[in-house]
Every structure is written in C-alpha cells, then in structure tokens.
Amino acid sequence: MTKVLHTKLSVKTAADVEVIDVTEMIRNWIRSEGFSDGILTVSSVHTTAGVTINEGESRLMEDIGMHLSKLVPKGAGYLHDKVDNNAHAHIAATLIGSSATLSVVSKSLGLGTWQRVLFVEFDGPRSRTIRCNFVGV
C-alpha cells in the first residue's frame, strides 16, 4: 500500500547567514515512521532560506554561506529592499533552492558517503520550519 506522510521539523538559526546540518532530524523521522522505500522531499517553507545537499564539514558550511553572500551582496540596489531590505536573502535562497529531493532505500536515507542535508539561512537569526514529505511504501 502506498504511504504518503509529512511532518514539520523546527530549526533555530543563530546568525544572519548560517548553514545547519539537519540530516539526523530527517533520519529520526524515517526511523519513527518506519517507512521503507520511496522519494522524500525536504523543503524550507521560507523565502529567505533554502535546503541543499553537500558535505557537513564546518568550514565548508561557512564557505557556502560566505560565497553566496558574495554572489548576492546585501544592499546592491535591489528594488525589493524598499519593501523589506532583504532582497539579497531571497535571491540567494533561489540560487540554493528551496528543497532537496532524496530517496529512502531499505529504511535508510539514500545519501552518498559525504552527503548531508543542509538548511541554509540567509536572513537570520530566526525560528525556521522544514517540511518533509514522503511518498513510497
């Protein structure tokens, strides 16, 4: 029988720009629900934070945030800054992507050796929500 499940996870960011490894939270959800095989999406429900898959090495996580801030610098004459002053955070989130699509294979998260699920904050510190959805068996 097809299983369709969803949950929301909470994450608290502590800085303006910050990358947080959320892999274990997702593994806990898989374990607690006991589903076996399928596709799992991990999505930021925000427009100034995204989700990506990469290595969870602490200096690299800092590099990702810093380089994105370089590619999309704060206050570079954006029109939206007249509304909210955070256009850079929206655009950076769009480059990183709002979600990652993963697989679950034999009750395990289908990640490579160095892959981790990373939540990327561009307009913190804030309390943030991650939505996870699973379709499979």
Using CB under 8 A, list all residues that contact a second copy: 1-2, 4, 6, 37-39, 41, 43-47, 52-55, 57, 59-60, 62-64, 67, 71-72, 76, 78-80, 82-84, 87, 90-91, 93-103, 105, 110-115, 129, 131, 133, 135-137
Q: What's the rounded Cα separation, in Å, for the pair 56 and 79? A: 34
Q: Hey, what are 84's tokens? A: 């909210």
**13 vs 52, beta carbon nearer a second copy:** 52
**25 vs 134, beta carbon nearer a second copy:** 134
Q: How far is the CB of 91 from a second copy (least distance, A)?
A: 5
Q: How far is the CB of 32 from a second copy (least distance, A)?
A: 18
Q: How far is the CB of 12 from a second copy (least distance, A)?
A: 17
**33 vs 55, beta carbon nearer a second copy:** 55
Q: How far is the CB of 30 from a second copy (least distance, A)?
A: 14
Q: How far is the CB of 9 from a second copy (least distance, A)?
A: 13
Q: Please, where are the H alpha helices in the chain?
A: 23-33, 58-71, 87-96
Exposure string (b/e) for 72-90, b if CB count within 10 Å is 16 or more? bebeeebeeeeeeebbbbb
Q: What's the rounded Cα separation, in Å, for the pair 70 and 46? A: 21
- Contact, 123 vs 72, CB < 8 A? no
- Contact, 117 vs 102, CB < 8 A? yes
**27 vs 99, beta carbon nearer a second copy:** 99
